[in-house]
Amino acid sequence: MKYSWNVISEVMRITPPILGAYREAIVDINYEGYDIPKGWKLYWNTGLTSLDPEIFPNSRRLEPSRLEEDGPAPYTYITFGGGPRICLGKEFARLEMLVFLHILIRKFTWKLLVPNEKFIYDPMPTPLQGLPISLQPHNY
């Protein structure tokens, strides 16, 4: 299941389930020559971090092996947030995704009904035709 979780994590890194969040500066900050006063609201974008080629080389390529061993540095893989505000449902979501994937793979063969379907980005990638698939139970 470790490899399955790495695949799921890579998919969520490339297409994060959340866009980001707002935070408030609790002290005055100078970041690369820009002054951010205490109290200002900041917006962090998960997509910009997870697709940063300095953090994840070949960032748009699906490479489940990049999450093996120690994995990415802290606060670089932020699909579920991080630190004291990390998603409380992370482990439940993990279990749910792994069980779903396991059942889907073990019990069904599936194929895309529109193999070259186009996507729109508003603000998340959305298949134009809803990504229809055909599921057929395995014949044991």
**Residue 70 domain flag:** yes
In a domain, 28, yes or no: yes
Report if residue 78 sits inside a domain: yes
For residue 53, is it within any domain?
yes
**Confidence at residue 81, expressed as pLDDT on a 0 to 100 scale:** 83
The total number of structural domains in the chain stands at 2
Instruction: Say whether both 18 and 78 belong to one domain.
Output: yes
Instruction: Say whether both 19 and 81 belong to one domain.
Output: yes
Residue 138: how many other CB atoms lie within 10 Å:
9
pLDDT, average across residues 65-78: 84
Q: How far apart are CA 118 and CA 130, in angstroms?
A: 10
- Look at residue 56 and tell me if it is in a domain: yes
Alpha-carbon dihedral of residues 128, 115, 10, 51, nearest 10 degrees? -60
Decide if 14 is inside a domain: yes
pLDDT tens profile 6-63:
999 999 999 888 888 888 999 999 999 999 999 999 988 888 888 999 999 999 999 9
Q: Is the pTM of this model over 0.85?
A: no
Question: What Å distances lie between residue 70 and 66, 67, 74, 82, CA to CA?
Answer: 9, 7, 10, 16
Same domain, 63 and 107: no
Structural domain for 57, as ranges: 2-87
Residue 124 and residue 15 in contact, taking contact as beta carbons nearer than 8 Å:
yes
Same domain, 41 and 106: no
For residues 24 and 57, membership in a common domain is answered with yes
Return the amino acid letter for 127.
Answer: P
11 and 67 assigned to the same domain: yes
Q: Say if 95 falls within a structural domain.
A: no
Burial 32-58 (b: 16+ CB within 10 A, else e): eeeeeeeeeeeeeebbebbbeeeebee
Tell me, yes or no, whether 44 lies in a domain: yes
60 and 36 in a common domain: yes
Question: Using CA atoms, how far apart are residues 95 and 5, in angstroms rounded to an integer?
Answer: 9
**Mean pLDDT, the chain, whole residue set:** 89
